[in-house]
Structure 1
Amino acid sequence: MRLVQFVDAQGGRRVARVGDDGRTLHPLREVAYLRDLALEAHRAGVRLATLVQARQEDAPEDYDRVIAEKRLLPPLDHPDPAHCILSGTGLDHLGSAQARDAMHAKLSGDQELTDSMKMFKLGLEGGKPGPGEIGVQPEWFYKGDGSWLVPPEQPLELPAFALDGGEEPELVGLYVIGDDGQVLRVGFALGNEFSDHVLEKQNYLYLAHSKLRNSSFGPEVLLGEPPADIQGTVRILREGQELWSAPFLTGEANMTHSIANIEHHHFKYRAFRRPGDVHCHYFGTATLSFAAGVQARPGDVFEIAAPDFGRPLRNPLAAAAEPDRLVEVHTL
């Protein structure tokens, strides 16, 4: 089952189930936020999918029209953006078979490993612990709060101070924290983690700065467990023509860490289990147009798609209106 959030023709927020035909949306009665429905399901002790079926209305919406009129919303968010936390994990994907062979050759060689390769090696050796065990912790970074989140079909902003704005096609885990602090996994979506790769390449200690950019995921959230082997396609369109495309791999079969291990090392922090909060976690990638020498520019459109996740995630790139200028701090 896949769900979306969108704005209806009257300007109201709605949650809807994607029809089996992929062309219709079936709105749910009296539900403006998927977050609220997830909390209601937990309080009632029922499956989220069961509650969705009970709330479904008869009158469908035209999905293509909702997309064309740019009325999609992120499939999970919070009424107060400060209570929606965006985060991510990197150095946890194996990539293609050729990339894997090259990586293993480096790891087995005699040369001194970089810090990044050491982190990758830790994941290979201890990122998928057995049942009831805790594995090695992965890399972690902060992406912002809900105000940094961009809906599908809306532009990702290239700040005036940015050196680059490139896509990162990723699996995104979507969570709500229950009244008792229980972590509730709503489902998974495709995401564009969007980072400044030129800045990061200057020095890996700039990673934290390079991640402080917009991101987007959706348009659909897939309830339940994701496929272990997700094979998708990422494209950049320029003036309606394909500039670059590549396959990408994600899912646990293509990762050095299990999803459960990454989840543990995020939610082990008590402050990340605050009742009512929403968490959106990007699980990393091994495919970048930047690595192929492509530099996106304003007007380009990023497109990320994979079977089982419904419609593709699309976002144009737009230059920020605010110029790069000194931010002055005033003493009180």
Structure 2
Amino acid sequence: MSTIVSEYTYRGRRYVSLGIPTPGEPQTLHHVADGALRAAFLTDAGPEAVTALIAAAETLTVTAGDPELQPLPPLLPTAAGGQALVSGFLGTHKAKSEAIVGYNDQPPVPKWFFKGLGSWLRMPGQPLVVPAEPVVIIEEAEMALVYVNDDQGVPHYAGYTFGNDLCDIGLHRIDPGYTSSGKLCDTAFSPHLFLGEPPRAATGRVTVERAGQPAWEGKFDCGADALWFRVEDLVDRAFSFPALRRPGLVNYLLTGADLSSFHDGFHLTDGDHIVIDIASHGVVLSNPLQFGGTTSSL
């Protein structure tokens, strides 16, 4: 499997760790200033520069469960002036191929949507806040691609991670014109960035817990082979928009989901706990669902 890097804040400083932490075990952190890791991906050496940066960094070890250790979305700028954008694509999976159509004898074009700013991303354990009276909330387990733009606005691929593109599909079903509003729900993200090409398969299970008990379970595949579109076509479509090529911008591109609890006739409700276990990659997103209120902060 690819090299995995994760970023954290600890006692006012920014750190990187390698691999996915083992529960209950101490964790080694490498002090890397905000922006240094992003800059490494802009060099010709790419992942090798990242490895060298981490190897040369000051280290410390923290005990498991230290409350001062807080994960960050991969490469998220936290300094003043940093910019990051979350966006994605609708109807990309083969499981939804009946909805993928072209117009005027032209081939289908990926349907891009705006999801939010990078600072809006939620980490595992944080509540996912949606409007107080949604129509139908849906969880969506997805692979996300991470890109960093250089000073000329040229995007550089950094790696991939996973997210839960929570949204109100009910608004979309009423009228596709409401889709942009339905996407304005919190998005769960993994802090773990995989430094490799997008995987052909990324499989696991979603469990919805209600009152402490499993209420629904289902499997998913959000890897490249499950997509109707090629990953390259999604990326080309996203960066055809000059707004996504702003210098210094970090882009998180959600590549779409296959079927979910809603398609099985199950409806999420306030207080449910959503657990997305991407077993193929050792990543777990576990978040409570909250209808209404103010979203948490990183």
- TM-score tier, shorter chain, comes to 0.7 to 0.9
Distance 1:243 1:32, change over 3 A: farther
- Cα shift at 1:245: 1.2
Larger Rg computed on CA atoms: 1
Asked whether the 8 Å contact 2:207–2:218 carries over to 1, the reply is: yes
Distance 1:7 1:290, change over 3 A: same
Equivalent-residue separation in structure 1 for 2:135 and 2:48 (angstroms): 43
TM-score (norm 1): 0.77
TM-score (norm 2): 0.85
- Cα shift at 1:278: 0.8
Matched with 2:50 is 51
Asked whether the 8 Å contact 2:149–2:247 carries over to 1, the reply is: yes
Which of the two has greater strand per residue?
2
Matched with 1:84 is 84
Which amino acid is the alignment partner of residue 42 of structure 1? L
Distance 1:278 1:192, change over 3 A: same
Matched with 1:172 is 144
Distance 1:147 1:50, change over 3 A: closer
Asked whether the 8 Å contact 2:143–2:254 carries over to 1, the reply is: yes
1:88-112 deviations in Å (ceiling 9; x for gaps): 10111013xxx8xxx6xxx6xxxxx
1:128-179 deviations in Å (ceiling 9; x for gaps): xxxxxxxx52111111112422122111102224223321111111111012
Distance 1:12 1:268, change over 3 A: same
Asked whether the 8 Å contact 1:192–1:217 carries over to 2, the reply is: yes
Equivalent-residue separation in structure 2 for 1:284 and 1:41 (angstroms): 25
- Cα shift at 1:270: 2.0
Matched with 1:16 is 17
Number of residues paired by the alignment? 287
Equivalent-residue separation in structure 2 for 1:32 and 1:219 (angstroms): 17
- Cα shift at 1:69: 7.2
Asked whether the 8 Å contact 1:187–1:223 carries over to 2, the reply is: yes
**Residue correspondence of structure 1 range 1-332 to structure 2 within 5 A:** 1-8=3-10, 10-18=11-19, 25-29=27-31, 31-33=32-34, 35-43=35-43, 45-56=44-55, 59-62=60-63, 64-65=64-65, 71-79=70-78, 83-95=83-95, 117=99, 120-122=100-102, 136-321=108-293
Equivalent-residue separation in structure 1 for 2:171 and 2:20 (angstroms): 42
Find the residue that maps to 2:124 and give its secondary structure: coil
Which amino acid is the alignment partner of residue 203 of structure 2? Q
Runs of at least 4 residues of structure 1 off by over 6 A? none
Equivalent-residue separation in structure 2 for 1:233 and 1:286 (angstroms): 12
Distance 1:122 1:164, change over 3 A: same
- The percent of aligned pairs where both chains have the same amino acid is 28
- Cα shift at 1:46: 1.7
- Cα shift at 1:122: 4.0
Equivalent-residue separation in structure 2 for 1:299 and 1:122 (angstroms): 40
Distance 1:13 1:20, change over 3 A: closer
Find the residue that maps to 1:71 and give its secondary structure: strand
Find the residue that maps to 1:162 and give its secondary structure: coil
Which of the two has greater helix per residue?
1
Asked whether the 8 Å contact 2:21–2:27 carries over to 1, the reply is: no
Find the residue that maps to 2:275 and give its secondary structure: strand
**For structure 2, which runs of at least 5 residues remain unmatched after alignment?**
none
Distance 1:254 1:307, change over 3 A: same
